Amino acid sequence: MKRIITNSETRDKLGARTKVAVAGAAALSMALLSGMGGAGAADIKIGVLYPISGGGAIYGGPAMRGHDLAVEEINAAGGVIGSKFRTVARDSKINPAAAAAAAKELITKEGVNVILGGLASSVGLAISEVARREEVIYIATIPKTIKLTTSKLHPYVFRTASNTDFEGDAMAQIVKKVNGKKLCDIQLDYAYGHDLGDGIAKALPKHAPGANIVMKLRPKLGATDFNAYITQIMGAGCETVVSGLWGNHFVNFAKQAAPFGFFKDHVYITGGEIASHEVASKLAGDYPDNVWSNSYELWYHSPTGAHKKFQARLAKKAGTKATAMWPVLAYNGVMLYKAAVEKAGSTDAAKVIKAMEGLTIDTPMGSLTVDAKSHQTNTGQFWGPMKKQSGEAYRRMEPVTFVPPPSK
C-alpha cells in the first residue's frame, strides 16, 4: 500500500516537490546540452579528423600535436563558458569515404559539437557534406580546394587554411619574378590539383601575361612512380614547372628526377607547402636546387612575438628545436572555435555560426579574420626559394616573403 496516498495535503506537497524536481532537472539538462552550464558543465567535444597513418601521417601527426597544444592551453586556463574541451579523434586515412564515415560516427555516436581537420581536399569536401547534412560546424584547417568556400559553401563550413585561388595567385607572381615563359603544369588528379591548376591559369594573365602553359600532367593521388612524367616534362621544352605535388609525392618526384639533372634545367614553383620543415627535413641533403615553395609557418622565422612564444611551447612539447609547420593550422582552428563559442556564449551551432562570421582572432602568425559571406579566413603564406645553409642538413627559405591573399 505504499504507493497509495490518502492524505490530500501530503499529495499536494509531493506533487509540488515533484514539479520542482522535474523543472530543475530539465533546466540542468538544457544547460548541459547547450554548453552554457557553469561549474560541472559537460565537456565540449571536439571531433578531429587528420591522417595519422599512411602517406598523410607526415602532416597529420604534427597537426594533431598543434591541436592538442591548443586544447591543453585552453583547458589549463579554465576552459570555455565553464566547460573543458575534450578531443575525440579519428584517422581520416586520406580517404573520402573513410573520413565521411568517421565524421558521421563522431556526430551521431560521440555527439561532438564541432569537427576540425581534414588534409586532402577530397577528404575536406566529404567531411563538409556530412557536416551540412547533420548541421554540425566543420572548420577545414588544411584542405584548400576553392570549392569549399564557393560552389560547395554552406552555413556550417568554415576554413582557416589558404585556398587554391590564393595559392595559384602567389605562384603566378613567382612565375613573373623568375621570368617564366613556357610552363609545364603537374598536379595531382583530385580536387586540390584540379583547382590549383585552375587558380594558376586564372592568375597568369594578371601577373605574367607572357607565360603560357604548354603541358598539363595529372598523376594520381598517392602515386609513387613519376618517371614517365619527368621524361615528358623534359621533352616539352618548358623552363618552368608549376606544381602542387605535396608530401611524399614531391619527395618521390625529387629523388627520381635528380639523376636526370632535372632541377638544373627547370625552375620548380610549387604549392603544397614543400618549404615546410616536414618535407625539407625529410629530403635533407637531397632537397633539389631551383625550388620555390610555400609554408604557413617556419620555425626559424618569427614574424611576431606571439609566434616566437608559440614555437618555444611547441618545441618543448615536441622535444626538438626544429618544429613542424602543420601544428599552427590545427592550433588556429581550435582557437577560432573557442573564440566563437565565447562570443556566442553557447555551443549552439546557429549561435556559433553567427559569432564566427566576421570574427577576428589573434594567432601566432598575426590576426585572422573570417569573411562573413564566404567563411574563408584571410590566410596568407610565406613564399621563397629554398637555399642551402652552411652547417645544416637541409635547406631553408631565403629570403622569406609573406604573400597575403589577393585583394578582392
Q: What CATH number does the domain containing 196 carry?
A: 3.40.50.2300
Q: 77 lies in a domain?
A: yes
Q: How confident is residue 325, by pLDDT bands cut at 50, 70 and 90?
A: very high
Q: 37 lies in a domain?
A: no
271-322 residue pLDDT tens: 999 999 999 999 999 999 999 999 999 999 999 999 999 999 999 999 999 9
Q: 18 lies in a domain?
A: no
Residue 6 has pLDDT above 50, yes or no: no
Residue 48 bridge partners (DSSP) = 89, 116
- At 4 the three-state DSSP class reads coil
**Are 258 and 190 members of one domain?**
yes
| Mean pLDDT of the 97-116 span | 98
Task: Identify the pLDDT of residue 59.
Answer: 87
**Are 317 and 287 members of one domain?**
no
Residue 10 neighbours by CB under 8 Å, 6+ apart:
none
**Are 177 and 237 members of one domain?**
yes
As a dihedral over the C-alpha atoms of residue 347, residue 351, residue 356, residue 359, rounded to 10 degrees, the angle is -110
Cell of 297: 609557418
Q: 16 lies in a domain?
A: no
**Are 107 and 234 members of one domain?**
no
245-254 residue pLDDT tens: 999 999 999 9
Task: Identify the pLDDT of residue 32.
Answer: 33
Task: Identify the pLDDT of residue 41.
Answer: 73
Please, what's the b/e burial string for 281-307 (b: 16 or more CB within 10 A of its CB; e: otherwise)? Answer: ebbeeebbbbbbbbbbbbbebbeeeeb
Q: How confident is residue 113, by pLDDT bands cut at 50, 70 and 90?
A: very high
Residue 107 has pLDDT above 80, yes or no: yes
Residue 36 has pLDDT above 70, yes or no: no
Task: Identify the pLDDT of residue 316.
Answer: 96
For the entire predicted model, the pTM comes to: 0.88
347-375 residue pLDDT tens: 999 999 999 999 999 999 999 999 999 99
The DSSP result for 229-296, as a single string, is HHHHHHTTT-SEEEE---THHHHHHHHHHGGGTHHHH-EEEE-S-TTSHHHHHHHGGGPPSSEEEEES
